[in-house]
Structure 1
Amino acid sequence: MPNRNPKSPLKKPPSWPNLWFKDKTTLKHVVFKMQLDNTNNNNNVSLSPNSKSKQQDFTKTCSTTDLFSLLSDEILLQILSKLPESLRNPNSLVCKRWLFLLGRLVRSVKLLDWNFLQSGRLISRFPNLTDVHLASACINDSEKSSGILLTHRLISIHLDSDFSSGRFVCEQNLLPSVSIDRGLRILAQGCPNLRNLVLISATAEGLSSVAEECPTLQELELHDCTDLSLRGISACRNLQILKLLGAVDGFYSSVISDIGLTILAHGCKRLVKLELSGCEGSYDGISAIGQCCQMLEELTFYDHRMDAGWIAALSFCGNLKTLRIIGCKKIDPSPGPVEHLGSCPTLETLHLQRCQLRDKQSVNALLLVCSAVKDIVIQDCWGVDNEMFSFARVCRRVKFLSLEGCSLLSTDGLESVILSWVELQRLKVVSCNNIKDGEVTPALSSLFSVLKELTWRPDTRSLLSSSLAGTGVGKKGGRFFKRNRKREPVILNVETCI
C-alpha cells in the first residue's frame, strides 16, 4: 500500500535576518519614518501626494538596500563592539566598511611580518592599537630549513639545521637597526595611545621616537638590550613596568651594566615593576634604582650576573614589596659586612625559584635584608638543607611558608624554624622527600592544629591523616577561631598521595 504520510521535504532553516525582517511592511514604514523625521520637524504634518509616491518608491527598493548603510559609523561601531571576540574576524569579511570599523576595535596585535608595519598597512588597518608585540617580527626566520619551533620564556623561533654559530638567534637573523628604527617611528606616529610594547634590538633613536610620540606608554619589554639603547627610554616619564633582557644563553649576548641601570633610574622615576634578566650590575646600579625610583614595588632577577655586594643596595628600595630571584646560579658571592646590609622594611614576599643556595654567607645576607618579609616561597632550589634553612629564623613576621622540591631539608630542620614563627598562619610543604610523617613531633602537630591553611604532601608516601590521628588537626583550629569571629575561617587543605 502506498504510504499515506510521506515525509515532507526538508526545508532550509530560516536565517536570523529573515526572522528579524519578517514583517516587511512595518520595517519599511519605520525606515521611511526615520528619513521623514529628518526633513519634517512637525510630527502632525500630512503627507502630500508627492511624498506618498516617494514612499512607494522607497518601499520598492528597501528590500535591495543595505539597511546598515543608513547607520552612521559611530552607531554601527557601537553595535559591532557588542559582538564576541570569536565573531569579529568572520564579520570583518562582510564588506570593506565592516573591515575598517572592526579594525578600529582591535587593541592588541602580535606582529609576525615586519613589512606589514613598515608599509603602513598595520596603522591603516588597526589605528587604535594600545598593545603591540614586535619581538617575533624582528627575527627573520623565513629561511630556516628546520620545522622545529623553539619556545623560550618570552619568545618562539624556528630553529636552523645549521647550529655552527652556537646561538638560536644569530645576528644575521635579526633585522637591521635602520629598519627597526623606521618601523618604530611609523608605529609611534600612528599609535599615540600606545601603552604596551615588546621588541628586539632597538636603538636609542628608535626608542626616543616612541617616548616622544607615545606619552601614555606604561609597559615596555626590551630584548637584546644594551646600555646605549636605554638612553632612548629616559623620556618615558609615565613608564611603570619594564622588562630588560640582556644576556640570555643561546639567544642574546648584550650587556647591561651599572651605566644602563643608572640611566634608567634617572629617566624612569615612576617605575612600579622592574625585571632584569641576564643583566650585569653591582651596588651602584641597584642603589641608583632604589634612590630614584621611589615607587618601585616589585623587583625580579632572572639569571643575573651581578657583581659582589649588590644585596646591600636593596635597602635603598624603600617601598619594595615583592622580591623575586629566579634561575640564578649565585646570589651574592661577597655581600660584605652584616652591619652594612640594611633591610627592606616594607617587603612582603620573597620568592626563590630554581636558584643555587649553597653559599652560606649569601643566603644569610639575603634573609637579613628580607627580615621583615611575610611570605616566603622556595621552589626547586638546590642546597636548601637544615643549616641553610636555619637562617630564616631572623624572619619573625612570616605568615605564609611554601616549600617545594627541597629534598635536603628534614623534619627537624623545618620544625626548628617554624616553631619560632608565632605569626605563621599558612604552610605548604610539597615534594620534600626528606621530611617524613613519622618524624612529626607533638609540638609540630599542635602547630598544625591552629593553622588556617595546611597543604602537606612532602613525598609520594605521605599519609598525614593516619599518622596524625588523635592530634586534633582541624579541630583545635576551629574552636580557636570561633572564639574570635573577626578572624578568617579555617581552611584545611590536606593532600595525601599513596
Structure 2
Amino acid sequence: MPYSPKKTPKPLKKPVSWPDLWFKNKALKHVVLKMQLQTLSTAAKEKAKSETYETQTLDDSANDLTSLLSDSLLLRILSKLPESQQNSNSLVCKRWLALQGSLVRSIKLLEWDFLQSGRLVSRFPNLNDVDLVRACIGSPRNSGILLTHKFISIHLDSDFFPGGFIQEEKLLSPNSIDGGLRVLARGCPNLRKLVLIAATEDGLSSVAEECPTLQELELHCCSDLSLRGISACQNLQILKLIGIVDGFYNSVISDIGLTILAQGCRRLVKLELSGCEGSYDGIKAIGQCCQMLEELTLCDHRMDGGWLSALSFCGNLKTLRLQSCKSIDTNPGPDEHLGSCPTLERLHLQRCQVRDKQSVKAMFLVCEAVREIVLQDCWGLDNDMFSMASTFRRVKFLSLEGCSLLTTEGLESVILSWNELKRLRVVSCNNIRDSEVTPELSTLFSVLKELQWRPDSRSLLLSNLAGTGVGKRGSRFFKRV
C-alpha cells in the first residue's frame, strides 16, 4: 500500500476581538492613544493639586502664630476682646470654637433638646447664669407676634385661650424638665443663677445637690410643694417667686410654701414675692428663720389682712418695696399690735393703690425708722394721705414722681418737719407749682445738698426760656398785619 503522509490539520482561526479591529484602524488607534494620554494627564494634575494643598496646609499651619500659644494664654487673649466679636472668633477654627465656648457665662436657652442631649454643657462648660423659661414653653418660633411682660417674653399664634397665654399643655412635661435639670446640674456644677418655670421638687433637688454655689434662683409658675426641692440650697441668697401673672399663668404659693421656704433657705438676703398669696403666718416664718434677710419686695401680692404686723419679726430688714399692689393691707389691725422695723432704711412704693387711709397709716407706723422714701406713680396719694408721713423723723431723702394729687401745700406741711432732710426730688407732680413755693420752703431748698425740682413740664419750660421773650402770647413772633 503506497505511503501517504498525514496531512497536518490547519490551525483554527482566532476569533476576532473588538480591540483587534480598532487597532487595525489607524484612526481608532490614534483616538485610544489620545484618551490614554488624557487620563495620565488628569491623574498627574490631581496628584500635583493634592501635593500643593498639603504644602499649602503645612505652610498655613506654620504661619499660624496662635498655634504656638497654650490654651490658657490664648483664652486670656480672647477674653479681652469685645463681646461683639465672639461669634466671628468662634468661626476661625475648631480650637477657637472650643475656647470661645468656655468663655460664655450667661445664656438664655430656646431649644430644650440642646440641653437634654448634652450639647449645651459640652459647648459651654463654664456657664453660671442660665435662663430656661423660653425653652420650656412650646410657642411658635416663626410667629410674628411677640408678647413681652416684665417677667416673661413669648411668641404667640393666632389662638387665644381665656385662661391665659401659657396653657398647661404648652409646657414641657415634668419628666422632661427634671431630666434636663439633671443634665445641667451635672455639667455646670458652678452654676450661680438659674431661671425656671414649672419646676418640680425632684428637678430642684438635683440642682441643689449638684450646684453648691447656686446663689440666685427665679421660679415661675411653681407650687408650694415644689419649694421643698430648694431646701438643700445652702448658699442661696437671692430668691424670686412668681406665682400669678395675669393673662399668662396661675399658680398658688401660700403660707405653706413660704414656711417651707423659710425653713430651708436660712441664708436669704433678698426675697421677691410676685403674685403670691400668704398672710401673717408666712411672713412671720420668713422673719424668724431668715435672719439675714435685708430686702423684701412684694409685687402684686394677694396677702390676707394683717400681714404688715409680721414685718416686725424681720430683725435685719433694710429695704421694703411694694410694686403694682392693688392694696397695702386690707385689715392691718390696731396700731398697738403693729410693731415696727427698727433697722428699716428704705421704703419704695411704685404703681401702688394708696387710697385706704388705715392701711397707709399702718405701713408708715411699721416703717417709722426709714431714711429714704420713694413714691412713684402711686394712685390716691393726696395731701391727706401724705400728711401721715409726718410721723417719720429720720428721713434724709424723698423722691416723688407722678403724684399728681399732691399739692405744694401738702408737700410743705410734711417736709418742713423733717429736720434731717438732705436730698429732695420732685418730678411730674402737676399740682406742685413754682408760684406756690413759700419763703419757708425756699429756705429749706437753699440748705439741701441735692435738689431736683421738675414738678411739671410747664414750670421747667418757663424757667429755661426766661428772658428770651418766648411764651408772651406770641407778641414777639406773631404780629397783626
TM-score normalised by the shorter chain: which range applies? Answer: 0.7 to 0.9
Question: In the alignment, what sits opposite 2:449?
Answer: 452
Question: In the alignment, what sits opposite 2:125?
Answer: 127
Deviation at 1:109?
0.9
Which of the numbers 269, 278, 292 marks the counterpart of 2:266? Answer: 269
TM-score by length of 2: 0.82
Question: In the alignment, what sits opposite 1:3?
Answer: none
Question: In the alignment, what sits opposite 2:229?
Answer: 232
Question: In the alignment, what sits opposite 2:74?
Answer: 76
Deviation at 1:460?
2.4
1:420 paired with 2:417, answer: yes
Secondary structure at the counterpart of residue 336 of structure 1: coil
Deviation at 1:427?
1.0
Question: In the alignment, what sits opposite 1:101?
Answer: 99
1:189 paired with 2:186, answer: yes
Question: In the alignment, what sits opposite 1:212?
Answer: 209
Deviations 1:124-143 (A, max 9, x none): 10111111111111111027
- Aligned 1:48-87 pairs, distance under 5 A: 64-65=61-62, 66-87=64-85
Question: In the alignment, what sits opposite 2:478?
Answer: none
Question: In the alignment, what sits opposite 1:336?
Answer: 333
Change (3 A) 1:464 1:396: farther
Confirm or deny: 8 A CA contact 2:346 2:370 kept in the other structure: yes
Q: 1:82, 1:143 → 2: CA distance?
A: 34
Deviation at 1:464?
10
Deviation at 1:282?
0.4
Deviation at 1:155?
1.4
- Aligned 1:312-323 pairs, distance under 5 A: 312-323=309-320
Question: In the alignment, what sits opposite 2:175?
Answer: 178
1:307 paired with 2:304, answer: yes
Deviation at 1:273?
0.5
Q: Which amino acid aligns with 1:456?
A: W
Deviations 1:47-99 (A, max 9, x none): xxxxxxxxxxx9x9666534433433233323322322222221111111211
Q: 2:148, 2:308 → 1: CA distance?
A: 32
Q: 2:161, 2:151 → 1: CA distance?
A: 24
Secondary structure at the counterpart of residue 461 of structure 1: helix
The percent identity for this pair of structures is: 76
Question: In the alignment, what sits opposite 1:48?
Answer: none
Confirm or deny: 8 A CA contact 2:141 2:155 kept in the other structure: no
Confirm or deny: 8 A CA contact 1:437 1:463 kept in the other structure: no
Q: 1:119, 1:281 → 2: CA distance?
A: 39
Question: In the alignment, what sits opposite 1:89?
Answer: 87
Deviation at 1:324?
0.4
Deviations 1:306-349 (A, max 9, x none): 00000001111111111100000010010011111111111111
Q: Which amino acid aligns with 1:313?
A: A
Deviations 1:337-362 (A, max 9, x none): 11111111111110001100000110
Change (3 A) 1:79 1:405: closer
Deviations 1:229-274 (A, max 9, x none): 1000011010000000001101121000000000000110111110
Deviations 1:154-199 (A, max 9, x none): 2110122111334111111111111000000000000000000001
Question: In the alignment, what sits opposite 2:108?
Answer: 110
Q: Which amino acid aligns with 1:111?
A: L
Which of the numbers 236, 240, 262 marks the counterpart of 1:243? Answer: 240
Between 60-69 and 71-80, report the one with greater CA deviation: 60-69
Which of the numbers 136, 154, 158 marks the counterpart of 1:157? Answer: 154
Q: 1:209, 1:466 → 2: CA distance?
A: 62
Q: 1:317, 1:226 → 2: CA distance?
A: 24
Question: In the alignment, what sits opposite 2:276?
Answer: 279
Confirm or deny: 8 A CA contact 1:379 1:404 kept in the other structure: yes
Q: Which amino acid aligns with 2:435?
A: G
Between 62-71 and 178-187, report the one with greater CA deviation: 62-71
Q: 1:433, 1:465 → 2: CA distance?
A: 14
Secondary structure at the counterpart of residue 321 of structure 2: strand
Secondary structure at the counterpart of residue 462 of structure 1: helix
Q: 2:104, 2:461 → 1: CA distance?
A: 52
Q: 1:143, 1:195 → 2: CA distance?
A: 28
Q: 1:76, 1:190 → 2: CA distance?
A: 24
Q: Which amino acid aligns with 2:223?
A: T
Q: 1:64, 1:353 → 2: CA distance?
A: 61
Deviations 1:466-490 (A, max 9, x none): 79x9xxxxxxxxxxxxxxxxxxxxx
Q: 2:277, 2:390 → 1: CA distance?
A: 31
Q: Which has the larger radius of gyration?
A: 2
Which of the numbers 200, 203, 207 marks the counterpart of 2:200? Answer: 203
Q: 1:63, 1:274 → 2: CA distance?
A: 56
Confirm or deny: 8 A CA contact 1:456 1:464 kept in the other structure: no
Q: Which amino acid aligns with 2:238?
A: I
Q: 1:148, 1:61 → 2: CA distance?
A: 52
Q: 2:251, 2:387 → 1: CA distance?
A: 38
Question: In the alignment, what sits opposite 2:364?
Answer: 367
Q: Specify every segment of 5 or more residues in structure 2 that has no aligned partner in the other structure, as ranges.
A: 1-54, 473-481
Q: 2:127, 2:457 → 1: CA distance?
A: 50
Confirm or deny: 8 A CA contact 1:437 1:464 kept in the other structure: no
Confirm or deny: 8 A CA contact 1:350 1:373 kept in the other structure: yes
Q: 1:197, 1:134 → 2: CA distance?
A: 8
Q: Which amino acid aligns with 2:128?
A: T
Q: 1:124, 1:138 → 2: CA distance?
A: 20
Change (3 A) 1:63 1:124: closer
Confirm or deny: 8 A CA contact 1:278 1:305 kept in the other structure: yes
Q: 2:58, 2:387 → 1: CA distance?
A: 86
Confirm or deny: 8 A CA contact 1:239 1:271 kept in the other structure: yes
Q: 1:91, 1:383 → 2: CA distance?
A: 55
Change (3 A) 1:438 1:136: same
Number of residue pairs the alignment of both structures matches: 411
Deviation at 1:465?
8.8
Q: 1:290, 1:380 → 2: CA distance?
A: 29
**Structure 1 residue ranges (4+ consecutive) displaced by more than 6 angstroms after TM superposition:** 464-467
Question: In the alignment, what sits opposite 1:407?
Answer: 404
Change (3 A) 1:82 1:407: closer
Between 311-320 and 78-87, report the one with greater CA deviation: 78-87
1:142 paired with 2:143, answer: no
Q: Which amino acid aligns with 1:99?
A: L
Q: 1:204, 1:211 → 2: CA distance?
A: 10
Q: Which amino acid aligns with 2:288?
A: Q
Secondary structure at the counterpart of residue 90 of structure 1: helix
Q: 1:391, 1:186 → 2: CA distance?
A: 55
Question: In the alignment, what sits opposite 1:31?
Answer: none
